[in-house]
Chains A and B, each alone.
Chain A
Amino acid sequence: MTAVLTKVDREREQEPRSRPPRHRLSALDAKVSPYLFVAPFFVLFGAIGLFPLLYTAYVSLFDWELGADETPFVGLENYTTLFSDSQFWNALFNTFSIFLLSSVPQVIVAVVLAALLSANLRARTAWRMGVLLPYVASLVALAIIFGNLFGPQYGLVNGMLSAVGIPPIDWQADTFGSHVAIASMVNWRWTGYNALIVLAAMLAIPREVHEAATVDGAGPLRRFFSITLPMLKPTLIFVIVTSTIGGLQIFTEPKLYDPSAGSGGGAEHQYQTVVLYLYQSGFQQLDLGYASAIAWTLFLVVIAVAGLNFLLTRRAVR
């Protein structure tokens, strides 16, 4: 199509006087319009995706305090400070701990749930929609309710624990306890969502493959591990990569879990995640340069871990 148009154009070039203005417009239309049609996405992406990303990198090279009169250039100093900042390493540890406690059980349970949902159930749609319900609930409401459930003194979870004779756990003070509480919020919200994605992929697996395996004498478990899982691979990669990206950027849950509504993530930063530390640096200490350095470091960490997970998943599930 384009080739034809250019040829026509070239012919016209040879006799310019005979070119009517309308033709010129439509030629322009054919050339430019496609770009105009795709432009909104790229303009938006440039304005609210790419530009902030690059500008954050720029800001991270300055001692940039919000509203300060001077913002001196400091080169990579923010980064060197960051790498020797124990609070940052603590936040990174917390992030990974919460990420592992949430993503690993989440993906496993999602696959199992999907397998159950793909069975011949009565009121199938109701069940399938049912697992999505937690995803529909507002994250803020959820965090407040979970904060209540895991309250150290008057929380329901501790009440139930002591009812069965287990000593209550301080879900705020205990590092591992607080991570479990926050991870349970994440799992509650995202497991059903991931289960539905996996379910969709599961239903797309051709029936013939299963039937052939059944004829060969494979039981349901064997079929699950030898047919279903391998054929789910692309979907699992998607689910694992997106949950990595989301998990490493976790913010709202730990932010609202903090009863003092600060951004410290616990009295001793027991559950302060990297993004929470970023928020604290940027919007409580107004140190935008440092916050930007955290943002970029996290960006690189997320890319690295997501890439690693991609490779691992591709290898593990064959």
Chain B
Amino acid sequence: MRHRSWVSVLLLLTATTACSSGGATEGGTTELTIATFNEFGYEELFKEYEAAHPDVKITQRKTGQGAPHHQNLFTKLGAGSGLADIEAVEEGFLAQVMAKSGQFNDLKEIGPKIEDNRWLKWKTDAVTTKDGKLIGYGTDIGPLAMCYRKDLFEKAGLPSDPEAVKSLFATWDSYFAAGDQFVAKSGGVAWFDSASQVFNAMHNQHEVGYFDKSDKLVVETNPAIKADWTAVTNAVAKGQSAKLVAWSNEWNSGFKAGAFATKTCPSWMLGVVEGQAGPENKGKWAVTEAFPNGGGNWGGSYLTVPKQGKNAKKAAELAAWLTAPEQQVKAFQAKGTFPSQVEALKSPSLLEKTNAYFGDVKAGALFAAQAQKVTAAQYKGPTDGQIQDNVFSPALQSVEQGKSAEEGWKTAVAEAQKVAK
């Protein structure tokens, strides 16, 4: 008990010191704080900006992972103070931020003039409110392609050449049909890692998702969702799923053991595959410039300027500069964050980037092409992220664990209604 109170005192002290920083103007210099998570690759850029703007001092608050960063963001939005001048927001949490868009500055209003079409259209659309306010500047994206195991494809008698497999990955129908063919001969190896990984990618391709544009939950009435559900659960019933929950230890082991043959692959997933499958599987994984039913996106972030900050104008200037194509190309070179800017996607250094683990494939050019295939940003309701992560993913997992598809669907609908209430 006594120890616990000491810990609390320490926490309180750190909290107060953390709160007291930021926003101070001393001797004409403005201190700008920017809160990011994981790696944005901005460290060198800050130095460059400070050198060009002697009146600005930049402090970065870096959180290791996305989840705690966003929890902090929402808590301090609620508290009304304590946020950095610039807050990074990841695509998965964007819907929740858009629901509170009133607490963020409209960057069209306070930001510098930015050239038209700096970003891919769908990237900007997703962060524009219904009444036309721009809440964030796009940083990076995660265009989707398909990763697959060449050796396992060969063993099961499927084509394994990156060009030849494109026809397998043309549509979801052809994808699941190829899966049937594969599991018939694979001797226990599954076609994909987990049902929700496939379902989410399918779902995000529709123009209307869980919510319509008036924020009404349409899970039950949107035929596309039920169709995806049926397709994926059918594939599960036929043994196409390895039933591994993404990011779990078992999932990691699945990469090592070669438990599945394909993986929905955003640009940043290549690093994950390499890390999990390890050097012993080098040369077995390949990636191809195709994704069923066109393109898709998973991940990527924005820079926002919350209204509670005192230096909104200068913060917006910095955010606009950081998200300009030239800077994002540098961030890509530093940490591999795939840029969302049209010009950056044409940069030679990006197009020539190769990946040794995936057989020296021209990954930069491949994902740049995939980024162009994304047609539109799906409208996201305020609780979209929770419905995906806390309702549909577990419901699909329960089907993988043996529940009937029909029962799983009923649970998913009921829970979605509860979350959206």
User: Which A positions have Cβ atoms within 8 angstroms of B?
Assistant: 41, 44-45, 48, 66-69, 144, 147-148, 151-155, 170, 172-173, 259-264, 266-268, 280, 283-286
Say yes or no: A66 contacts B78, CB within 8 Å: yes
CB distance from A97 to the nearest CB of B (A): 19
Most chain A beta-carbon neighbours within 10 Å: one of B245, B246, B393, B395: B245
Q: A68-B78, A260-B245 are in contact. List 13 more A-B contacts (CB 8 A).
A: A41-B5, A48-B5, A66-B78, A67-B103, A69-B102, A151-B249, A153-B254, A154-B250, A173-B398, A260-B246, A262-B394, A264-B390, A285-B419
Q: Tell me, in angstroms, the Cα distance from A42 to B130 when the chains sit together.
A: 51
Q: Which B387-403 residues have C-beta < 8 A from chain A?
A: 389-390, 393-395, 397-398, 400-403
Across the interface, which residues of B come within 8 angstroms of A261, CB to CB? 67, 247
Contact of B394 among A147, A148, A267, A284 (CB under 8 A): A267
User: Do A260 and B394 have beta carbons less than 8 Å apart?
Assistant: yes
> B243 interface residue, CB < 8 Å from A?
yes
Q: Are B250 and A285 in contact (CB under 8 A)?
A: no
**Once bound together, how far apart are the Cα atoms of A283 and B68, in whole Å?**
10
> Which B215-254 residues have C-beta < 8 A from chain A?
243-251, 253-254
Number of A-B contacts (CB under 8 A): 90
Which 6 A-B residue pairings sit nearest by Cβ, starting from the closest?
Answer: A259-B248, A173-B401, A267-B397, A67-B78, A267-B398, A66-B78
Decide: B78 and A260 in contact? CB cutoff 8 A. no
Question: Of all chain A residues, which has the CB nearest B12?
Answer: A48
B75 contacts chain A at the CB level, 8 A cutoff:
yes
Q: Are B257 and A154 touching (Cβ within 8 A)? A: yes
In the bound assembly, the distance between CA atoms of A259 and B249 in angstroms comes to 7
Give A118 to B74 CA distance when docked, in angstroms: 53
Q: B372 within 8 Å of A by Cβ?
A: no
Give residues of chain B (51-83) contacting chain A, Cβ–Cβ below 8 Å: 67, 71, 74-75, 77-78
- Report the minimal beta-carbon distance from A62 to chain B, rounded to whole angstroms: 13
Chain B interface, DSSP helix/strand/loop, else mixed: helix
Do A148 and B401 touch across chains, with their CB atoms under 8 A apart?
no
Q: Which residues 345-404 of B have a CB within 8 angstroms of A?
A: 383, 386, 389-390, 393-395, 397-398, 400-403
CB distance from B6 to the nearest CB of A (A): 9
- A67 near B74: Cβ-Cβ < 8 Å: yes
Do A285 and B386 touch across chains, with their CB atoms under 8 A apart?
yes
B residues in contact with A48, CB < 8 Å: 5, 8, 12
Q: Which residues of B contact A (CB under 8 A)?
A: 5, 8-9, 12, 67, 71, 74-75, 77-78, 96, 100, 102-103, 243-251, 253-254, 257, 259, 383, 386, 389-390, 393-395, 397-398, 400-403, 411, 419
Is the contact region of chain A dominated by helix, strand, or loop, or is it mixed?
A: loop
A155 and B254 CA atoms in complex are apart in Å by 12
C-alpha spacing A48/B397, complex, angstroms? 40
Report how far A148 CA is from B250 CA in the complex, Å.
8
Q: What are 21 pairs between A and B in contact, CB < 8 Å?
A: A41-B5, A44-B9, A66-B77, A67-B74, A67-B103, A68-B78, A69-B102, A151-B253, A152-B250, A153-B259, A154-B250, A155-B250, A259-B247, A259-B251, A260-B245, A261-B247, A263-B390, A284-B386, A285-B386, A285-B419, A286-B96
CA distance A153 to B251 in the complex (A): 10
Smallest CB–CB gap between A149 and chain B, Å? 10
Interfacial chain A residues near B78, Cβ < 8 Å = 66-68, 286
Assembled-state Cα–Cα distance A107/B372 (Å): 63
> How far is the CB of A53 from the nearest CB of chain B, in Å?
14
Q: Which residues of B contact A173 (CB under 8 A)?
A: 398, 401-402
- Asked if residues B394 and A280 are in contact (CB atoms below 8 Å), the reply is no
Say whether A147 contacts B249, CB under 8 Å: yes
